[in-house]
Amino acid sequence: MVFDMDGLMLDTEPLYKLAWQSACAGLGYHLSDALYVGFVGRPTPDCEGRLIEEFGSAFPLEAFRREWPALWRAAATERGIRVKSGLLELLAFLHERSVPIAVATSSEAEFTAFSLRQAGLAGRFATFVTGDQVALGKPAPDIYLRAAEQLGVPPERCVALEDSEAGIVAACAAGMVALLIPDWVPASDVAARAAAYVMPSLVEARNVIAELAADASSSHEQRVRAE
């Protein structure tokens, strides 16, 4: 199993949105909700590139890079980081069955470790792969391919859980069974086509995963009998 983090497991997207918009405002620029939506699920360098495209080369990127992480960390510390409904039950379900679990996120390693600690999830995953650990971020499949490699499981035998278009396209391109649980950005046509299933929450995901596991077990038994 491979989980995205922000927006899928953790309710962190509002914190990132607040930090990025506040940092831009402090520098004299308005980052609209509509522009920010396009950042969801994508690696930070891609999002910074969009800021330059929108605001021009005069945008003080280095100052922005100094400002927003401090704002984000302060908000996360003050408000805490909530886990999504159904996550803890799903993790318990997987751990009971000794299913290896990885995190594949566009966030950098420092933010990933901090977020998991703040949410009480540190140590719950076999490994995590972050946006700064691969050459190409989502929607390229690199993060998911590396996660499968670190789990020691072929990508086609992995199930991926995602909330964004960029993420679900990446998981699908990696050859995984991709489950989409939209956060506050509704599923686009592209995302819906890439997903094997689209669900409202992680609560429903548990039942789908159980069905997929049962089907895989049945197929394996049939192959063994045939041999």
What positions carry a catalytic annotation?
4, 6
- Beta bridge mates, 2: 102, 160
Pairing state between β 159-162 and 177-180? parallel
Instruction: Give the C-alpha separation, 81 to 130, whole Å.
Output: 19
Per DSSP, 131 falls in state: G
Instruction: Give the C-alpha separation, 210 to 227, whole Å.
Output: 26
Q: Please compute Rg for the chain using Cα positions.
A: 18
Exposed / middle / buried, residue 208 (Cβ in 10 Å: 0-12, 13-18, 19+): middle
- Beta bridge mates, 127: 102
